[in-house]
Structure 1
Amino acid sequence: MAKKSQVKSYSKDEFLNLVKEKSGLTKADATKALNAVFDSLEEVLAKGDRVSFVGYGSFEVGHRAARDGRNPQTGQKIKIKASNVVKFSPGKVLKEAVNK
């Protein structure tokens, strides 16, 4: 794995260019496709359902309970509200690709 300073962060536009090149779609069509995937993923997770891509991984909603915390600047105790969080569990194929 690359050092932290060598890790590239892709913007949505840069990622869209990769999708466009790999799929042969126009940039407009790749944008529509990627937006449709993100919108659909958001819709399914908002209902509390799970999305699984065999080999790649799965997305699901978890619950984080309310808890006490501290303001790091002042040290003052604060209450942190309960919230839902998105969890991603990578699948075998993705794990193997990352660990080549």
Structure 2
Amino acid sequence: MSRRPSTGNQCQWFETAFMDTPLHATSRTMEPFAFDPHHESRAAVSPGTMMHQVAQPFARLVMGDLNEFINRWADWLAQAATGPLAHPSLMPERDPQGSWR
């Protein structure tokens, strides 16, 4: 998850995920993956080709309306616990361009 300012003094929570650039071979076993808000996540959203890229569009989390978020993560957790959770067949899973400013 990332926190970014939306307008003025307001801050909102956003969910996103990251991936390694396809131009660089890595041995990462999990993609997409999370980053804490720091220089690597900041570089991933900057213009140009970096070591890491955004793998999912930024999705605004609305307090009091988190049913979709909770259900999606509960489903992934259940799939991981029972075995059928698989690596996405395509990265990025959905085009993230334009979902952040």
TM-score (norm 1): 0.32
Would you tell me which structure has more helix in proportion to its own residues?
1
Structure exhibiting the larger radius of gyration computed from Cα positions: 1
Name which structure has the greater RCO, CA cutoff 8 Å, separation 6+. Answer: 2
